[in-house]
Structure 1
Amino acid sequence: MAAGILVGFFFKWLLAGQDERMLYLLGMGIPLKALFVDGIFHIGGEIFIASLKMLVVPLVFVSLVCGTCSLSDTTALGRLGGKTIALYLVTTAIAISLAIFAALLINPGMGVEMQSDASFNLSEAPSLSQVFINIFPSNPIESMAKGNMLQIIVFAVLFGIAMAMSGKAGERLSAVFNDLSGVIMKLVTLLMNLAPYGVFFLMAKLFTTLGFETIASLAKYFAVVMAVLVLHGLVSYGVILKLLTGLNPLIFFRKMRDAALFGFSTSSSNATMPVTMEAVTKKIGVKNSVASFTVPLGATINMDGTAIMQGVATVFIAQVFAVDLTLSDYLMVILTATLASIGTAGVPGVGLIMLAMVLQQVGLPVEGIALIIGVDRLLDMTRTAVNVTGDAMVSCIVGKSENAFDEAVFNDVNAGSKEESVDFHHLR
Structure 2
Amino acid sequence: MTETKRGGIPLHWLMLIGFVVGLAGGLAANFYVDPEAAWLTTLVAVAGTIGQLFLKLLFMMVIPLLFSALVIGVAEMGDLKSLGRAGIKTLLLTIVVSGIAVVIGLGMVNFFRPGDGVAPEVAAKLMQQGAEGAAAIVDKAPASVQFDQFFLDLVPSNVFTAASENQILPVMIFALFFGIGLVMAQSKATDQLQRTIEGLLEVTMKLINLFIKLAPLAIACLMFKLAAVFGWDLLVRLAAYVAVAVGAMLIHMFVVYPLVVWIGGGMSPFRFFKGVREPMVVAFSTASSNAALPVSLKAAETELGLPRKIARFVLTVGATANQNGTALFEGVTVLFLAQFFHIDLTIGQQVLVMLVCILGGVGTAGVPAGSLPVVAMILVMVGVPAEGIGLILGVDRFLDMCRTTLNVTGDLVLATVVSRGESDDSVAADAEEPEPVGA
If the length of structure 1 is used for normalisation, what is the TM-score? 0.56
Q: Residue 204 of structure 1: CA displacement?
A: 2.0
Whether 1:254 and 2:258 are equivalent positions in the alignment is no
Map 1:214-229 onto structure 2 (within 5 A). Answer: 214-217=230-233, 223-229=239-245
Q: Is the 8 A contact 2:72 2:179 kept in 1?
A: no
SS at match of 2:214: helix
Q: Secondary structure at the match of 2:47?
A: helix
Partner of 1:129: 148
CA contact (8 A) 2:57 2:211 kept: yes
Counterpart for residue 348 of structure 1: 376
Deviation of 1:60 after TM superposition, in Å, equals: 2.4
Relative distance call for 1:280 and 1:307 in structure 2 (3 A) is farther
Q: What residue in structure 2 maps to residue 60 of structure 1?
A: 69
> What CA distance in whole angstroms lies between the structure 1 residues aligned with 2:355 and 2:257?
29
The answer to whether residue 210 in structure 2 is matched with residue 194 in structure 1 is yes
In 2: Cα distance, 1:376 partner to 1:40 partner = 14
Give the secondary-structure state (helix, strand or coil) at the position aligned to 1:211. helix
Partner amino acid, structure 1, of 2:105: A
Instruction: Please give the per-residue CA displacement for 1:256-297, whole angstroms capped at 9, x wherever unaligned.
Output: 36xxxxxxxxxxxxxxxxxx8x67878977655445544599
Structural mapping, 1:265-414, within 5 Å: 287=315, 289-291=317-319, 293-294=321-322, 303-306=331-334, 339-344=351-356, 346-348=374-376, 350=378, 377=389, 381=393, 389=404, 394-395=410-411, 397-399=413-415, 401-402=417-418
Residue in 2 aligned with 1:324?
A: none
Deviation at 1:194, TM superposition (A): 2.7
Q: Which residue of 1 aligns with 2:251?
A: 236
- 1:3 paired with 2:31, answer no
Match of 1:211 in 2: 227
- CA deviation digits over 1:307-332, x for unaligned, max 9? 5677x889x999xxxxxxxxxxxxxx
Q: Following the alignment from structure 2 to structure 1, what is the Cα–Cα distance between the partners of residues 225 and 407?
A: 30
The answer for the alignment partner of 2:302 in structure 1 is none
Q: Hey, what's the Cα distance between the residues in 2 that align with 1:351 and 1:190?
A: 24
Amino acid at match of 1:341: V
5+ residue gaps in structure 2? 1-14, 128-133, 262-271, 298-313, 358-373, 420-439
Deviation of 1:164 after TM superposition, in Å, equals 4.1
Once the two structures are TM-superposed, the CA of residue 131 in structure 1 deviates from its matched residue by: 2.9
- Alpha-carbon shift at residue 206 of structure 1 (Å): 0.8
Q: Distance in 2 between matches of 1:2 and 1:301?
A: 19
- The 3 A distance-change label for structure 1 pair 147 and 256 is farther
Give the AA of the match of 1:71: L
Residue 202 of structure 1 aligns to a residue whose secondary structure is helix
Shift of 1:86: 2.0
Q: For 1:20 and 1:190, how far apart are their aligned partners in 2?
A: 38
- The answer to whether the 8 Å contact 2:105/2:329 transfers is no
Does 1:151 find its partner at 2:170? yes
Q: Determine which structure has the larger helix proportion and give its number.
A: 2
SS at match of 1:348: helix
Query: Of 179, 183, 207, which aligns to 2:199?
Result: 183
- Letter paired with 1:239: F
Aligned match for 2:158, one of 139, 160, 173: 139
1:4 partner letter: G
Q: How far is the alpha carbon of 1:67 from its aligned partner?
A: 1.9
**Conservation of the 8 A alpha-carbon contact between 1:64 and 1:153:** no
CA contact (8 A) 2:322 2:411 kept: yes
Shift of 1:176: 1.0
Question: Quick check: 1:163–1:174 contact (8 Å CA) kept in 2?
Answer: yes
Separation of aligned partners in 1, 2:49 and 2:68: 30
Aligned residues: 332
Partners of 2:87 and 2:25 lie apart in 1 by 52
What is the match of residue 96 of structure 2? Answer: 86
Q: Structure 1 pair 214/295, CA: closer, same or farther in 2 (3 Å)?
A: same
Determine the C-alpha separation between the residues in 2 that align with 1:303 and 1:39: 26
Retained in 1: the 8 A contact 2:44–2:224? no
CA spacing shift, 1:181–1:241, aligned 2, 3 Å: farther
C-alpha deviation, 1:238, in angstroms: 3.7
Distance (whole Å) between structure 2 residues aligned to residue 293 and residue 279 of structure 1: 16
Letter in 1 for 2:376: P
Cα distance in 1, alignment partners of residues 177 and 222 from structure 2: 41
TM-score (ref. length: structure 2):
0.55
Q: Which stretch of the first structure deviates more once superposed, 279-288 or 127-136?
A: 279-288
Q: Which residue in the other structure is 1:270 paired with?
A: none
Report the Cα distance in structure 2 between the residues aligned to 1:393 and 1:158, rounded to whole angstroms: 28
What residue in structure 1 maps to residue 437 of structure 2? none
Distance 1:280 1:139 in 2: 40
- 1:254 CA drift (Å): 2.7
User: RMSD in angstroms over aligned alpha carbons?
Assistant: 5.2
Q: Distance in 1 between matches of 2:256 and 2:85?
A: 25
Relative distance call for 1:299 and 1:193 in structure 2 (3 A) is same
Gaps of 5+ in 1: 22-30, 258-275, 319-332, 357-368, 404-428
Distance across 2 between alignment mates of 1:155 and 1:113: 41
Say if 1:201 and 1:76 are closer, same or farther in 2 by CA, change over 3 A: same
Provide the C-alpha distance between the structure 2 equivalents of 1:375 and 1:199, rounded to a whole number of angstroms: 13
Q: Look up the equivalent residue of 1:200 and give its one-letter code.
A: P
1:77–1:113 Cα change, 3 Å: same
